[in-house]
Amino acid sequence: MLGRRGRSLVAIATLAAGVSVVGPVGHAAADSPATCRDYRVPVSSLPGTGNAGEHHIAGTLCMPAGRSPDTVQLLIPGGTYNHTYWDFPVPGYSYARAAAARGQATFNIDRFNTGRSSDLPPALVTVDVDAAAVHQVIEALRAGGVGGVRFSRVVTVGHSVGSMVAIQEAATYHDVDGLILSAFTNYPSADLLAGLATFQLLVPARNEPLGEMTTAPGARGPWFHAEDNADQAVIAKDEATKDTITASEMATMSVPMLTLPTNLITAPVLIANGQHDRVFACVTRPCDDTAMLRRTEVPRFTSAASLDAFVLPGAGHSVNLARNRDEFFDVATAWVERHVG
């Protein structure tokens, strides 16, 4: 079934392996000459849902011009975001396009109940369900079920809640070659806990089923951006394109995050945060620099093949949308090339 935000996409053609495509996507090509197409990956047998039928995860596969890489980055948006976070509709702010310009492939997905992916009853959409769906997408990417390209290596790249989904997936299925966890630490900030408790950050989404949450009007600027390192037009576009997160996803994110299964991850890991992230912290204080971030997180990733860290100077929670986001884009894509290939 089509997601409620994607029912206008009615021209669906069936491809091999049960994956569907919505023609060549009409993205602006200002960032790179990538070839990008939209696909729908069937997923089923989701934990806690009673296995009620087949659903789909929608995503956009962007391939660099003139080559077909063996590695793909699976991009997972955070809470109240959808695929637009990774392919932001302002020229120069697209991570997917930046990766393509560096010769790398990405598959940029929507979580359930966001963007063009299937809608489930909000109570059923948990981090475990998200992770199970991502696992099936990874299987499709390896099997050639997305665009007919068989990727031998997959790196999951998360933002915020998307990072937690990547953690749960890797700790459960051990099927990825690397993880980039952006806008994440194992320690929620005191600001976040207070903001959630007082509804300063999340409120029930209007005109959506009970259990769907979104950011309060005007909250994205102060919560997700650092004022001195963000363009007002970008903040406005962020507000205009915001999506939802379910209360069940919030309830299963493990607060405190110290119960996340990070010590079960065996692949290489990169953690990347903004210096002025209000949502996550280095224990009780902001993550001021790369050394502090890595020192804080090392005890939580004891089985990882390696752990690298990066703090984007002056940035807020949504590092892709900072004025100096290219520094993060460079670090992330170079890390993939170095650790995965």
Distances, alpha carbon 243 to alpha carbons 110, 113, 215, 249, in Å: 10, 9, 8, 14
112 neighbors 57 (Cβ within 8 angstroms): yes
272 neighbors 329 (Cβ within 8 angstroms): no
Please give the pLDDT value at position 48.
76
Q: Going by DSSP bridges, is the β-strand pair 20-24/35-43 parallel, antiparallel, or unpaired?
A: antiparallel
Residue-wise pLDDT tens digits, 75-113:
999 999 999 999 999 999 999 999 999 999 999 999 999
In CATH terms, the fold of domain 13-339 is Rossmann fold (3.40.50)
134 neighbors 168 (Cβ within 8 angstroms): no
From CA 40, how far away is CA 2, in angstroms rounded?
10
> Is the overall model pTM greater than 0.85, yes or no?
yes
Average pLDDT score, the chain: 89
Handedness of CA 281, 284, 290, 292 (dihedral sign): negative
What are the domain boundaries of the chain? 13-339
Please give the pLDDT value at position 52.
60
Please give the pLDDT value at position 66.
85
Residue-wise pLDDT tens digits, 192-215:
999 999 999 999 999 999 999 999
Which span out of 30-34, 140-144, 259-263 was modeled with the highest average pLDDT? 140-144
Residue-wise pLDDT tens digits, 38-83:
999 999 888 877 656 789 999 999 999 988 999 999 999 999 999 9
Please give the pLDDT value at position 31.
59
